[in-house]
Every structure is written in structure tokens, then in C-alpha cells.
Amino acid sequence: MNQNTILSVDGLRTHFYTEQGVVRAVDDISFDVRQGEIVGIVGESGAGKSVATTSILRLIEEPGEIVAGEITYQDTTIVGFDERSDGTLVPKDEMLTNRQMRSQVRGNEIAIIFQDPMESLNPVYTVGNQLQEFIELNRDLSGSAAKKEGIDVLREVGIPEPEARFGDYPHEFSGGMRQRVLIAMALACRPNLIIADEPTTALDVTVEGQILNLVSDLQEEYGTSFIWVTHDMGVVAEICDRVNVMYLGKIVEQGPVDEIFYDTKHPYTKALLESVPRPDRTVDELNPIVGTMPSAIDPPRGCRFHTRCPDAREACREVDPQFVDVSETPDTEHRTACIKYDDVGYWDSVPLEHASEQDTSYIDEDQRPENRDLEQTEGEP
């Protein structure tokens, strides 16, 4: 763990108990966030990105439940479990109560921005009203001081005529402006960490560009950390420092953004990158990922991606891949959960039917486990 780490998530599992079965929306994920960086969580719909981030704020609602794992923010335990002698997990004593979460963490330490600003703003109150109340609540300011602060924040995020707009209702703002209001709200209490859950997905590109610029500026000014949830590899490349790629409730690859794009290790990340059309050059043929994402109720055994993976072999069906450190240098911390990089028999096993044409040439010879220092890997000998 790094010194500057402000949030660490370790072995988090969040499950939903539905009538069809247990949805393992987030199933054993670990990542951390350091001071002043933007950490991306990227994946397709159904990957569990949003569940992961709402778990951090303990905003998971029935029938969902955080069933295991540890979330530590600075020195406070947001989620933590002790194992009893009979094997059941009970919440730790030092875990924050719901009241403490509300008063100490949400809003003033960690803020969240959602994809749909219309759902986050109450349509019957003015924007100013909501902003002011939020500031009064979280920053202990009196009415007029809170109002002034609110107007300042609105101006800061680029709302024109902030004094006049303060009294407007949410529906009188355009989509981009509403998202700015939400960012203003998140910023108003000077949080240390902002979780942005697809905040630009519903916006037009030029507006998205404005918001991304705004976020970069604000981050520079205040050194706020971000967790940026998105499905857009472009946005990831644009603003993230480090990236976690999620597939079906698991993180399959994590590392610095440059390595994720230029030294891609996991076949899913690679496939995802190849299936994105490029705005900057004309591609003749896209390589889609075959099939659709399986259900999180009954995920495939072994590696969850093996049913669609172009590189899948027999062993992928059996072995549950562990995180393997594939860093080129000691300080990059590039990890991936693919048994190609683990010594558990991938290379000796037979390719699966759908994956007959395999191109594994992009994996360097020295990356193959038989050629690597085995002490680094966590698999069975």
C-alpha cells in the first residue's frame, strides 16, 4: 500500500438477493485511491461498476448487501468484518455507524455525482435552495453565508449569471448545466474524494469536453481525488491516472492508464479496446467481442470471461484466476487476473472451441510464467 492512499477497498463483495437467485454484482474486488489522482473504473453495463462505488458510500439498498471485504477511508473503517469462531462474519466494532457515515463521510469527505442529474435534484425546489441547504448542513454556515458560498461555487463551475440562476428550478437548466450544478454541490463541501458515476454519459461531446476541462481545472486547484466510473475508453484515456477494468463483478486488470492501453495484459481489456471505433483514424474492421455478458446470478466457472475470450483454453474453465503482478517496473503496480500469467497450466491446455484462432503473440515471451520469476506469482506451483 502506498503512503498517499486515502481509500482502500479490499476483497469487497456486494450481493443482491433476488428471487431468481443471488446476484453477485461485485465479487471480491480490491483497489485503492491515492491523494490527488483520478482512478477509473471501466467496464460494460452489468460489470458492477456502480455497485462497487455505491458500496464505498454504503448506499446499497435492499435487496443488496455488502457481504464481505474491507473499505478503509484514511483511518476510518467504512466497511469491515470480523470472523467469528463459527465462520460467520460480523461487522467490526470500529465500523462507522449509519449516522456517522451521514454526518462525517458522505458529502464532506466523499461526495458522489450521478449520471442523471435530473434524478439527483428535487424538481420542486430551486437549485439554489438545494445547494444552500446542502452547504448549511455540511459546512455549518449560516443562511446568507451559505447562499454566497453557493453562488460562488456555481460561478466556479461555469454557470452563467449565477445570481439569477440560483433561484431557478432544475428543469430550467440544460443537461450540461444540471451536471455542473451537481458538480458544484459535490465541490461545495470541499470533499477529499469525489465519486463520479458516469457523469458525462448522458451529455453531448462538446458539453462532455467542458465538464472534463472543468474537472481537470478543479482537480489542479484543490487536489481532490476522483473515482471515475465510465464505459468510455476515450474518457479513461483522457483523464484517468490509474484504471481498473471490470468484467462481471470482478476487476480483471488494474494499472496505470498508459500501461492499460499500451501494455494490455488481459484479453478482455484488449478486446474492449479493439471493439471501440476510433475518432482519430479510419479503421476498416472492428473486432467485436463475441456473445453477450452472462448473468451475474450464475456466472461462468473458472475465469468469468472464458465464454467470450478469444484466448480461452480448457484450463480457463477450471481455474479461478488470481491477481498476478505483471509490472515491468516495481513502482507501476500493474496487475491482471488471467491465468496466462500464472503457472497453472494454461499453456499446456487445449484451446476452447470458440477460440480456435488465437493470437497470443502480443504476450512477450518473457512474460510467460515458465520464463518468469515464479516468486512473483501467487498460483499453485
Partner 1 sequence: MSDAIGGESVSEDEPVVEVEHMSKYFSSETGFIASLLGSSDVQAVDEVSFDIRKGETLALVGESGCGKSTLARAVLQLHRPTDGTVRFKGQNLTDLSDREIRPLRRDMQMIFQDPHSSLNPRLKVGQIVEEPMKAHDLHDPEERTRRAQRLLEKVGLEAEHYYRYPHEFSGGQRQRINLARAFSTDPELIMCDEPTSALDVSVQAQVLNVMNELQEEFGVTYLFISHDMSVVRYVADRVAVMYLGHIVELAEKEELFENPQHPYTRALLDSIPIPDPRVTDARGTLEGDVPSPIDPPSGCRFRTRCPKLIRPGTDDVDRSELDEQTAAAALSIYEMSDVAWENVRAYTRAVTRRSFALEDADSPAAVRNVVDERFFTDARPGGEVDEVLDRSIELLADGEWDGATDLLRTTFEEPSICAARKPAYTVESEYGGGDHYVACHLHRGRGE
Partner 2 sequence: MATTEGQLDGKDGGGEPQIGWRHTFQQVKGDPTARFGLYVIAIATSIAVFSAVDANLSRATMGVYPDYTIGEWLPVLENPERMPPPTEMEPYQPPVFAEGGSWANPLGTDQAGRDYLSRIIYGARVSMAVGFFATFLGLTGGVLIGAVAGYYGGRIDDVLMRFVEIIYSIPALVLVIVFTVFVSGGNPDVIYAVLGVGIATIPVFSRIIRSRVLSVREMDYIEAARAAGVKDRNIIRRHVIPNSFAPVLVYATLQIGFAILIVAGLSFLGYGAQPPTPDWGQMLNHAHGQMHVNPWMSIWPGVAILITIMGFNLFGDGLQDALDPRIDN
C-alpha distances in Å from residue 239, one per residue of 5, 108, 132, 227, 357: 19, 23, 30, 11, 35
- Distance separating alpha carbons of residues 268 and 351, to the nearest angstrom: 16
Of the candidate spans 25-33, 284-292, 296-304, 361-369, the one that interacts with partner 1 by CB under 8 A turns out to be 284-292
Of these partners, partner 1, partner 2, none, which one is at the site of residue 205 (CB under 5 to 8 Å by kind)?
partner 1
Angle between helices 143-156 and 175-188 (to 10 degrees): 130
Residue 66, beta-bridge partner list: 14
Helix (H) or strand (E) holding 41: strand 38-42
Of these partners, partner 2, partner 1, none, which one is at the site of residue 51 (CB under 5 to 8 Å by kind)?
partner 2
Residue 243, beta-bridge partner list: 40, 255
Name which of 36 and 46 has its Cβ closer to partner 2.
46
16 binds partner 2 (CB under 8 A): yes
What track of x and - describes contact with partner 2 for positions 70 through 89 (by CB under 8 A)? --------------------
Interface residue with partner 2, options 32, 37, 109, 198 (CB under 8 A): 198
Interface residue with partner 1, options 34, 58, 139, 155 (CB under 8 A): 155
Give me the least distance between CB of 147 and partner 1, in Å please. 14
Long-range contacts (CB closer than 8 Å, 24 or more residues apart) made by 278-287: 279/234
277 binds partner 1 (CB under 8 A): yes
- Distance separating alpha carbons of residues 159 and 181, to the nearest angstrom: 8
Of the candidates 262, 275, 272, 288, the one whose C-alpha atom is nearest the C-alpha of residue 362 is 262
213 binds partner 1 (CB under 8 A): yes
Of these partners, partner 1, partner 2, none, which one is at the site of residue 94 (CB under 5 to 8 Å by kind)?
none
Cis omega (within 30 of 0) on the bond before 63? yes
Residue 70, beta-bridge partner list: 10
Name which of 58 and 190 has its Cβ closer to partner 2.
58
Name which of 40 and 150 has its Cβ closer to partner 2.
40
233 binds partner 2 (CB under 8 A): no
Task: Enter the C-alpha cell of residue 224.
Answer: 481532490
Name which of 252 and 296 has its Cβ closer to partner 2.
296
Of the candidate spans 11-19, 108-116, 277-285, 317-325, the one that interacts with partner 1 by CB under 8 A turns out to be 277-285
- Distance separating alpha carbons of residues 57 and 110, to the nearest angstrom: 8
257 binds partner 1 (CB under 8 A): yes
- Distance separating alpha carbons of residues 222 and 36, to the nearest angstrom: 8
Angle between helices 175-188 and 205-222 (to 10 degrees): 10
Residues in binding contact with partner 1, number by CB under 8 A = 55
62 binds partner 2 (CB under 8 A): no
Residues between 305 and 324 with contacts to partner 1, criterion CB under 8 A: none
Tell me, what DSSP letter sits at residue 372? S
Of these partners, partner 1, partner 2, none, which one is at the site of residue 354 (CB under 5 to 8 Å by kind)?
none
**171 φ/ψ angles, rounded to the nearest 5 degrees:** -70, -15
**Gyration radius of the chain over CA positions:** 22
- Distance separating alpha carbons of residues 61 and 68, to the nearest angstrom: 16
Of these partners, partner 1, partner 2, none, which one is at the site of residue 114 (CB under 5 to 8 Å by kind)?
partner 2
Residues that bind partner 2 (CB under 8 A): 16, 18-20, 23, 25, 45-51, 114-115, 197-198, 293, 295-297
Binding site for partner 1 (CB under 8 A): 44-45, 155, 158, 160-164, 174-177, 204-210, 212-213, 231-239, 257-258, 261-262, 271-273, 275-283, 285-290, 292-293
